[in-house]
Amino acid sequence: MKILVPVKRVPDPATTIRVLPDGSGIATDNVKWVINPFDEIAIEEALRIKEKQGAGQVILISIGQQAWQEQLRTGLAMGADRAILVRTETPLDPLAIARVIAKVASDEQPGLVIIGKQAIDDDSNQVGQMIAEFLGWPQATFASKLELAGEKCTVVREADGGLETVAFALPAVITTDLRLNEPRYASLPGIMKARKKPLLDITAESLGVDLAPKLKIRKLTAPAKRQAGRKVASVEELVAVLHTEAKVI
Amino acid sequence: MGDVIVFVEHRGGHFPKTTLIGINAGLELAAKRGGSCSAVVAGEGADTVAAEVAKYGVAKVIVLEEPRLAHYLADAAAQALAVLVKSTGAETVLATATALGKDLMPRLAARLNVPMASEIIAINDDGTFVRPMYAGNVLATVELEGPVRIVTVRGTAFDAAKPAAAVAPIERVAATLDPAGLKMEFVAFNEIKSDRPELTEARIVVSGGRGLKSGENFKSVLEPLVDEMGAAMGASRAAVDAGFVPNDLQVGQTGKVVAPELYVAVGISGAIQHLAGMKDSKTIVAINKDEEAPIFSVADFGLVADLFKAVPEMVEAMKKVKH
Ligand SMILES: Cc1cc2nc3c(=O)[nH]c(=O)nc-3n(C[C@H](O)[C@H](O)[C@H](O)COP(=O)(O)OP(=O)(O)OC[C@H]3O[C@@H](n4cnc5c(N)ncnc54)[C@H](O)[C@@H]3O)c2cc1C
């Protein structure tokens, strides 16, 4: 089975994010770029399925610029078989990203698309569900456990107030939550091998889908900073100030 | 023009308080756009929910009738809603950004081929929305271009709707579903039962982190404080990953966002991903043995102490305050 895993390049989660003074974007000097952590979990899950089935192909796809090759190479070093970089110089909105991935999926015919539940930069949590709808496939978002038996897929999802189990036949779209697995690191031989793995470089325009952004970011601002308060010396003092000063207990 | 439809989430006839927050945001948006706000509800128990929601100031409540909507599934719900949106000519479809809202609304957006804004925290007069990005370190003003706009609202950013003078009429609509598009099957819901307040609804939240060291310590050390304070219990990702507490207690960028009157962080370092889920709380207390812990930078009151000593002391001190 082919498994398609979309990968996004994002600032390392430990980065302190600063908005540019003119509100046009964020400062990118000194930013270390990594694979979106949820997409790493997606890659890991795809690799485990392939290893368990003893056959198949894990294909990575990114929609971005030249530099995004770095993250694709990292994913290939983890063990993915090949990668597709869909080039665009202007950032696309989630709807257009989903259209691009759905188009590639309809060409590649994977049994599964596994994708992170959200990207830790824009925090949208939209693309997986949109791909599922564009393809007319079932979806299981926020997956914490995935089981495959032939063509049937059973997924345990992190819902509010508990865990929900859904089932469906493949092909399908799965979005990963934190507890699905712990991603492996790329090994040294993996990194060597990754250099020779195929990385297809195409333009977004060549896919013939609508790319015009309909979600427009007008400006970015920094939120008001919360002021640090004070230290209290004892539990007694803490409870007293909560009672008399903050009046919350 | 400018009409808003609010999707009402419920489980078997009971809806969370966050539903009323979505309704309130819908009412605010409709007022700003010169339209009316309706609520739509489907599934088992929809009638009970409709009768209740009708009291909260909406123009009408639509009950989508169709046996295959009995239990929520994204593909069926998106289909049914898309048909309704087209027939009503609504400008915006809105849901609260719960696990269900996040699951459904992007699928609906794709079905209608229109854009979506996730977890908005403000509605501007010019029709734009404000939403957090980068774990709340950036606020973006966004515009959605399209005949229809889809939004989810962050539960902490709006008040809950209040009962209105008039009760809205309830309209029943037979939903049309294309069976070819129904591919998902509901298997089970494994509910985690708790007598404590809901994390996203509680006035006080007490959260524990890796500093608690074990699930047993959550029980024997933290829970007495949680209960003494009448609080909901939360946790950091590290505590959830270690299996100390269930997944749905995770507070943060990729878990639940809370903004109670009082948030007590115990043995939590204060990583930006955690702060993203609680920094809008009214009063923040941090108990941590490391005085350099970043959590102190957002805490109104910080106590540098060993939690295993401080928390039991606090339980006793709370008893005195109450009596
Ligand atoms: C993609 C991604 C998403 C994430 N999403 C979230 C999220 O939604 N929510 C979240 O919380 N995190 C999230 N994280 C993880 C986050 O970065 C931190 O790793 C996590 O919040 C740390 O949890 P913690 O504070 O409990 O543990 P630690 O950082 O290990 O802190 C433990 C604290 O306990 C204190 N301590 C230890 N023993 C004691 C004692 N006896 N008495 C008093 N204090 C003590 C220590 O001083 C320390 O400050 C995410 C990370 C990534 C990469």
H/E element, B109 = helix B99-112
pLDDT digits (tens, 9 = 90+) for B137-187: 999 999 999 999 999 999 999 999 999 999 999 999 999 899 999 999 999
Chain A residues in contact with B284 (beta carbon < 8 A): 226, 229
Domain that holds residue A235: 2-244
B160 vs B23: CA distance, rounded Å = 8
CB contact under 8 A, A231 and B291: yes
Asked if residue A249 belongs to a domain, the reply is: no
Helices then strands, counting H and E runs in chain B, come out as 9, 16
Q: Which residue is listed with tokens 């027939």?
A: B87
Percent of chain B predicted with pLDDT > 90: 96
Distances (CA, A) of B190 to A44, A160, A195, B229: 26, 11, 45, 28
Chain B residues in contact with A137 (beta carbon < 8 A): 183
DSSP A187: P
Chain B residues in contact with A229 (beta carbon < 8 A): 284, 299-302
Mutate to test the pocket of ligand 1, among B102, B240, B268 (most ligand atoms within 8 A of CB): B268
Asked if residue A194 belongs to a domain, the reply is: yes
Helix (H, G, I), strand (E, B) or coil at B316: helix
pLDDT digits (tens, 9 = 90+) for A105-114: 999 999 999 9
Asked if residue A90 belongs to a domain, the reply is: yes
Closest CA to A207 of A57, A64, A67, A107: A107
Asked if residue A100 belongs to a domain, the reply is: yes
Query: What ligand 1 atom has the least distance to the C-alpha of B290?
Result: 47
Rg (CA), chain A: 21
Asked if residue A37 belongs to a domain, the reply is: yes
Under 8 Å between Cβ of B220 and B118: no
Closest residue (by CA) to atom 38 of ligand 1? B211
Strands (E), B247-309: 262-266, 283-288, 301-304
Token representation of residue A43: 């890659």
Mean pLDDT of A205-229: 96
Helix (H, G, I), strand (E, B) or coil at A102: helix
Residue A165 makes CB contacts below 8 A (sequence gap 6+) with A154, A155, A156, A157, B186, B187, B188, B189, B190
pLDDT digits (tens, 9 = 90+) for B276-309: 999 999 999 999 999 999 999 999 999 999 999 9
Asked if residue A218 belongs to a domain, the reply is: yes
**Residue of B109, B137, B279 lying closest to A130 (CB–CB):** B109
Token representation of residue A100: 């691009």
CB contact under 8 A, A249 and B303: no
Helix (H, G, I), strand (E, B) or coil at A78: helix
Give the pocket of ligand 1 (CB within 6 Å): A 13, 37, 120; B 209-211, 236-239, 250-255, 267-269, 271, 273-274, 277, 288-290, 293, 306-308
Closest CA to A165 of A154, A151, A177: A154
Mean pLDDT of B240-257: 96
Q: How many domains does chain A have?
A: 1
Asked if residue A175 belongs to a domain, the reply is: yes
Q: What is the pLDDT of residue B1?
A: 79
Closest residue (by CA) to atom 48 of ligand 1? B269
ipTM: 0.98
Q: Which residue is listed with tokens 């957006």?
A: B109
Q: What is the pLDDT of residue B125?
A: 96
Concatenated DSSP letters of A14-74 = TPPP-B-TTSSSB--TTPPEEE-HHHHHHHHHHHHHHHHHT--EEEEEEEE-GGGHHHHHH
**Cβ-based burial of A4 (10 A; exposed 0-12, middle 13-18, buried ≥19):** buried
Mean pLDDT of all residues in chain A? 97
Residue type, A236: E
pLDDT digits (tens, 9 = 90+) for A110-127: 999 999 999 999 999 999
pLDDT digits (tens, 9 = 90+) for A203-213: 999 999 999 99
Asked if residue A163 belongs to a domain, the reply is: yes
What is the domain-level CATH number for residue A131? 3.40.50.620
- When pLDDT is cut at 50, 70 and 90, the band that residue A13 belongs to is very high
